[in-house]
Amino acid sequence: MNDMIVGQYVHVLVGAFLQDVSDMTGDVSVWAFSLAFDTSTHREQSFFDVRVRIFYKGLLCNIHLVGLPMFDRHKAKIVYNMLVKFLDALYPDWRFKLLNASSDGENTMTGHHAGVVTLIARCTEFNVLRVWCAPHQIDIIVKSAAESINGGAYIKEVYSLSVHLQSHNNLIIKMDVKRPKNLNCWVHLGHFLNFYKQYRRPIIAHTEEKHPENLPSAEWWVITYAVAPVIEEMNNTFTKLQSRHYWSRSSRSSSMR
């Protein structure tokens, strides 16, 4: 059996599966359904995963609908246009039945003005319940709490010190260590705080000698030693919640053949 014949069989199977999903969605007993979106990367290829959740004939079905390849960066408008074309072909009246849209918390998914979920909600006939994943909801709370430490001054000093260290490669070379990545997520913040704790003495000595105006206060170090274990624990929690193995064990799904 050559590749062409195999490809034809795959097309038939995928077409039959999508037709089954279309029939389920359009069934008179189904008055609503929800969509769940996720962005991922596999072997340097970006994918946009879509799941549909339908209560059909007494079963709550959680079906992986499609994984769309992304040949551009995860821009919300590109994802939205691709998704709408697919849904229009699958079930033209989807705008009347969409009840809920959930996402993985990635920026293009949750942006207030141009996020995919926001754009989808705007084009439906009725109000859509928008839900973000558990890690994203926790992230919002943790970020708000961290930014309120010491009236917001603590996080500003963390960023200020990270910028200071990034501009002094000679200190990093002298310590013979690898500098943590930029502070653009909680994992990196945890790495930075642990880095500060581990190399506190050389950092203080260098800063006090070269740039005393950037020297962190004793109060700042006390807060760092108190906050670092909490951030590390939050990172472990985020990692577990984002694990596909965790969700595959904790969720009960029905799939269509």
Q: What is the pLDDT of residue 166?
A: 73
| Number of folded domains that form the chain | 2
Three-state DSSP class for 49?
Answer: strand
Domain encompassing residue 185: 139-240
Q: Indicate the pTM of the whole model.
A: 0.57
Same domain (yes/no): 79, 38: yes
Burial 15-42 (b: 16+ CB within 10 A, else e): eebbeebeebbeeeeeeebbbbbbbeee
Q: Is residue 247 part of a domain?
A: no
CB-CB neighbours of 115 under 10 Å: 22
Domain boundary among 94, 111, 132: 132
pLDDT in tens, 105-138: 665 565 554 578 888 888 898 888 877 777 777 7
Domain boundary among 132, 167, 182: 132
In sequence order, the β-bridge partners of residue 47 are 40, 69
Alpha helices, H only, the chain:
3-26, 76-90, 94-97, 107-110, 116-122, 134-147, 153-166, 169-175, 186-198, 200-210, 218-241, 244-250
Give the mean pLDDT of the chain. 79
129-132/45-56 β-pairing: unpaired
Q: Is residue 27 part of a domain?
A: yes
pLDDT in tens, 226-253: 988 888 888 787 777 766 544 444 444 4
